[in-house]
Structure 1
Amino acid sequence: MDKNATNFLSLDYELVPIEKIIITADSNFSDYGFPGTGSANDPYIIENYNITKPYYAGIVIYETTKHFEIRNCYIDSDEGIILIRIQAQTAKISDNIINNSYSYYNCDAFGIRVYESDFVTITNNTFINSKSSIQIFESKSPVVHKNTCYITLSDKLQYASGISITACVSASVKFNNCTKVPLGYSITKCYSSVFSNNYALENSGTGVWIMASNNTIVNDNVFKSIGSYGILLRFNNYSSLNNNTCENTNYGMKLLYTSNSKIHFNMIRDNIDYGIYVDNCSNSNLITHNSFIKNKVGDKYSQAYDAGSDNVWYNSKTKEGNYWSDLGKNETYTIDGSADSIDIYPLNENLERTSFMLISMVLLLICFSFISIRRRKSS
């Protein structure tokens, strides 16, 4: 077992060595002697195996209809697990460790790949030194939760990616951690996906790249110390980005060919260049209630850039815009770029805090008055 994997292992069971597992028909499950019957209530269980085999895939399953679970396995091979055209809602992959130590130098170091298989669940797996930890193609409603992607051979894996979802509908990508992976996450040509509560740290490229994926929800994610972009949107429409943190990146968020999206309540701070950059082909986006703090420090101009059309940086109904740490005594905030955008209702953090303090003081006075009145009545 590779020493890089030992940091992630805490096993209270023994692994059984096996060369590889190849299943091409339902009957193969019983051929291997896996426990279970393949029903929804009694799936075949593939667990506690040590598959260490260079130049091969560890587990391959395709065109089956039986229910199965792959769990608690250690796989060190060119490719970890491959699923192809599995019947919907029959596959679960959880609590495995996949280490591509044999093939990190070539293009075949993949952790899990799924093709045309609906409702596959991939949870709580650990990937070490994969060129791509999880790839899912042309599948409906995949669930990818609580997985960890980590690279210890960063000098060999400049183009590695963590989790990639392509041509899928209603994907759920939540609570994952991709650390020191050049591209943390990518969502491409998808529809109505949810990307939330994910984490990326010290990625040399991009935190999440979302391309040609309309109606994507991007909420509560954290991207820190990213080389290029915290969040990169390209050819997207009608998406929502809320409560994300983009900190210490080059650009916090970059919008290219992206329109009719809502960007609210994000923390965008300490980025080298613009906190949010909107190109000339991005239109009709609403950008409010974000905190821009010390982005593009040393530049005498704005923390954001807008070259598009009809992008609005404030809520006209509530008369609230964004918080800008360099607002100073100005009553409006000018955004760089040919759009000549202005936040005419910038939020003032000091006023908000003062208002909270005033409310607290008023409530205390009311309480004291009520107590004194009660005491007078009782006396």
Structure 2
Amino acid sequence: MVFSWRKTLIILLGLTLLPVNLEATIGFKQLQYALHEPIEITSDTDLLVFEGSGTYEEPYLIEGLNISTSDSYGIYVTNITKHLLIRNCFIDASFNSIFVENVFEGEIRIENNICFNSDKENGKGIIVFTTRNIVIQNNLCYDNEASGIVVTFCYNVLIRNNHCYRNGGEGIAVALIENLAMHDNECYDNSKEGLYLGGIEFATVLNNTCSRNGEEGVIIEESDGVIFKNNTIRENGKRGVFLHSSDYCFFKFNLFEKNTYFGLSLDDNCDGNQIFYNDFISNFNSERSQAEDNGLGNIWSNNLKEIGNFWDNLNGDSTYEIEGEAESTDLFPLVRKEELETSLINIYFISVVFSFLALFFFYANYDNLSYFSKIL
């Protein structure tokens, strides 16, 4: 092959023109922010300076701002009736970075913001209070004195795909909410819980990851009927999930792994909760039961389908005893897929050997069998 300087220069020029990927390590874009003073919106009139018309299709838009303040909120919103989108802002506020309260009409969407360093006492990244129809998604909240995200006394709330870490309180805390969806959030290295849910009605908690938090991975308190599925709860300082005074919750397809104490703990005011198809691995270092039940009538297996949970310290027993005053039992503990496949292979091998022996016996005694058939 003949070396060509012309082709080499063309290739190098093409490489320099390729688009550069500016995505941050956890998916947030490095944007050019415009410096801006703290924003206070107390009526619809205050929204008129922003782009948009306030409809669902064209909400008022607060976007691309760099707000830094040591003596106020970054963005404060109250008493509006229009739709508002707060997006792609970088907020370093000593108090709460974004604070929304008393919004009962329209929809508030808080998306793709970075909220950090709320270092005053009880400072939070995002706080929403007494508001209907709120969407909080794709935000990064870290190094706040208290919690990353707090939502309370609200209705119709979606909290999705947020990253909350190194906060002095909880990663995400929600309380007294009706109709809540918490999906695909990551909460790690927070001083308290990764997720806190208190006084919730109609909640789905799906595909969240809570790891390395200082206390529990998740606390669910006085919340009935919570659907808790496909979550990863690992390496938390106390229990993986603590269920307190909550009934008829549903735990399925979750991973509870390497939490310091129980993977899942139910107190004495929990009744009728269902727990099956979950993995419990190395909680309490697998030295004792990995779950605790002090409640009444909680079910640790689907007895109709004979499906329980996987326990890595089952030790070949046919049932798994749950620690606690309820004296509950997983009647149908699961085995790993690879272990199940090994068992099936063994069963198949035994059946083949048995069939071979039966066939051998048949041919070895063919003459006798023929004799008996003639007599009959």
Residue in structure 2 matched with residue 308 of structure 1 by the alignment: 295
For 1:60-75, what aligned pairs fall within 5 Å after superposition? 67-75=59-67
**Which letter maps to 1:79?**
Y
How many residue pairs get matched? 311
Equivalent of residue 189 in structure 1, options 158, 161, 176: 176
**Which letter maps to 1:10?**
Q
Residue in structure 2 matched with residue 295 of structure 1 by the alignment: 283
Q: Aligned with 2:246: secondary structure?
A: coil
Report the alpha carbon displacement of residue 72 of structure 1 after superposing the two structures with TM. 0.3
Equivalent of residue 74 in structure 2, options 77, 80, 91: 80
Residue in structure 2 matched with residue 344 of structure 1 by the alignment: 331
Is the Cα–Cα contact under 8 Å of residues 243 and 270 in structure 2 kept in the other structure?
Answer: yes
**Which letter maps to 1:99?**
D
Normalization by structure 1: what TM-score? Answer: 0.76
Residue in structure 2 matched with residue 59 of structure 1 by the alignment: none
Q: Aligned with 1:336: secondary structure?
A: coil
Moved over 2 A (4+): 7-12, 17-30, 38-43, 350-358
Residue in structure 1 matched with residue 92 of structure 2 by the alignment: 99
Residue in structure 2 matched with residue 125 of structure 1 by the alignment: 113
For 1:157-196, what aligned pairs fall within 5 Å after superposition? 157=145, 160-181=146-167, 182-196=169-183
CA RMSD of aligned residues (A): 2.5
For 1:4-43, what aligned pairs fall within 5 Å after superposition? 10-12=30-32, 15=34, 17-29=35-47, 32=49, 34-35=50-51, 38=53, 40=55
- 1:244 to 2:231 alignment: yes
Instruction: Tell me the distance in 2 between the aligned counterparts of 1:22 and 1:185.
Output: 24
Residue in structure 1 matched with residue 201 of structure 2 by the alignment: 214
**Which letter maps to 2:30?**
S
1:309-363 deviations in Å (ceiling 9; x for gaps)? 00000001110000000001111000000100000100011443437889xxxxx
Flag the 1:177–1:327 CA change in 2: closer, same or farther, 3 A: same
**Which letter maps to 1:346?**
P
Q: Which runs of 5+ in 1 are unaligned?
A: 1-6, 44-66, 104-108, 359-379
Residue in structure 1 matched with residue 100 of structure 2 by the alignment: 114
Flag the 1:273–1:27 CA change in 2: closer, same or farther, 3 A: closer
Instruction: Tell me the distance in 1 between the aligned counterparts of 2:297 and 2:212.
Output: 31
Instruction: Tell me the distance in 2 between the aligned counterparts of 1:233 and 1:288.
Output: 18
Q: Aligned with 1:251: secondary structure?
A: coil
Report the alpha carbon displacement of residue 25 of structure 1 after superposing the two structures with TM. 4.8
**Which letter maps to 1:345?**
F
- 1:135 to 2:127 alignment: yes
Instruction: Tell me the distance in 1 between the aligned counterparts of 2:240 and 2:316.
Output: 25
Q: Aligned with 1:164: secondary structure?
A: strand
Is the Cα–Cα contact under 8 Å of residues 39 and 74 in structure 2 kept in the other structure?
Answer: no
Flag the 1:260–1:97 CA change in 2: closer, same or farther, 3 A: same
Q: Which has the higher helix share?
A: 2
Flag the 1:99–1:238 CA change in 2: closer, same or farther, 3 A: same
Is the Cα–Cα contact under 8 Å of residues 293 and 327 in structure 2 kept in the other structure?
Answer: yes
Normalization by structure 2: what TM-score? Answer: 0.77
Equivalent of residue 266 in structure 1, options 241, 254, 265: 254
1:350-377 deviations in Å (ceiling 9; x for gaps)? 443437889xxxxxxxxxxxxxxxxxxx
Deviates more, 1:349-358 or 1:213-222: 349-358
Residue in structure 1 matched with residue 5 of structure 2 by the alignment: none
Larger Rg: 2
Report the alpha carbon displacement of residue 145 of structure 1 after superposing the two structures with TM. 0.5
1:239-264 deviations in Å (ceiling 9; x for gaps)? 11001011001210001101111011
Residue in structure 1 matched with residue 215 of structure 2 by the alignment: 228
**Which letter maps to 1:276?**
L
Instruction: Tell me the distance in 2 between the aligned counterparts of 1:317 and 1:243.
Output: 22
**Which letter maps to 1:174?**
R
Q: Aligned with 2:210: secondary structure?
A: strand
Flag the 1:303–1:24 CA change in 2: closer, same or farther, 3 A: closer
Percent identical pairs in the alignment equals: 28
Residue in structure 2 matched with residue 54 of structure 1 by the alignment: none
Flag the 1:19–1:219 CA change in 2: closer, same or farther, 3 A: closer
**Which letter maps to 2:274?**
L
Deviates more, 1:280-289 or 1:161-170: 161-170
Flag the 1:341–1:120 CA change in 2: closer, same or farther, 3 A: same
Report the alpha carbon displacement of residue 19 of structure 1 after superposing the two structures with TM. 4.0
Q: Aligned with 1:110: secondary structure?
A: coil
